[in-house]
Structure 1
Amino acid sequence: CLELLRNGSATLTITWNTGQTSTISFNYTVNIVGAAMVVTYTGTVTSGLFAGSTVLQVNTNPATDVLLCTLGLGTVPSTYALVTLEITSL
C-alpha cells in the first residue's frame, strides 16, 4: 500500500491514434488531498511527436481504499482516475 504513496520517476511511451509515438521522461509526486489521491507528473517529451515539449499530467483518484490499506484495513484491487494531460511546446 505504501508503494502507492511514493514519489518517483519513470519513462512512458504514448502511441497516438495516428500511429506516431511520444516518449516522455517524468518525475511524479503523490499527495492525499482530502478524499483524493493526486498524482502530479512533470517532464519532457524526449523523442517522437512533440519532442522537446514540456508535459504536465495530473491524475485524481479516490483515496478511500488507499487510506484504508495504509491503515491495514483492506487492499487496493484497482484505482480509477480523472486524467488531465497537457503538452506545451517550448
Structure 2
Amino acid sequence: MSCAIGSTSSKHLWITLKERFSTVSRTTIFQMKSNLQTIQKGPGSDTVTQYLHRIKEARNYLSAAAVYNTDEDIIILSLKGLPPEYNIFRCVIRGC
C-alpha cells in the first residue's frame, strides 16, 4: 500500500491508515465491493497467483473499511471469476 511508504513507526502507520480509511464514504465502499465482485482471471492474462492476489487485495481494502466478507463468499467470488478452462476445478470445489 502506497500509504505505508514514509511511515517512521508502526504507530505512525496506524494513524495514517485510520485517517485514510475511517472516512470511507458509502460510494467508495460500493465501488470497492463492485470491484471485488467483478475481478476476473482472463484466459492467459495472468497467473492464478496474481488473480488470487488481486482478490485478496480487494478484500483487504474492504476489511480496512470495516466491511467484511466470509471465506465462503470469497471462495464463491474466486470461482466465479475463473475462465471456462477451470470448469472442472470449479465443479470439484463446488461438489458437482
- Max radius of gyration: which structure? 2
TM-score by length of 1: 0.25
Richer in strand (by share) = 1
Provide the TM-score with structure 2 as the length reference.
0.24
Higher RCO structure (Cα 8 Å, ≥6 apart): 2
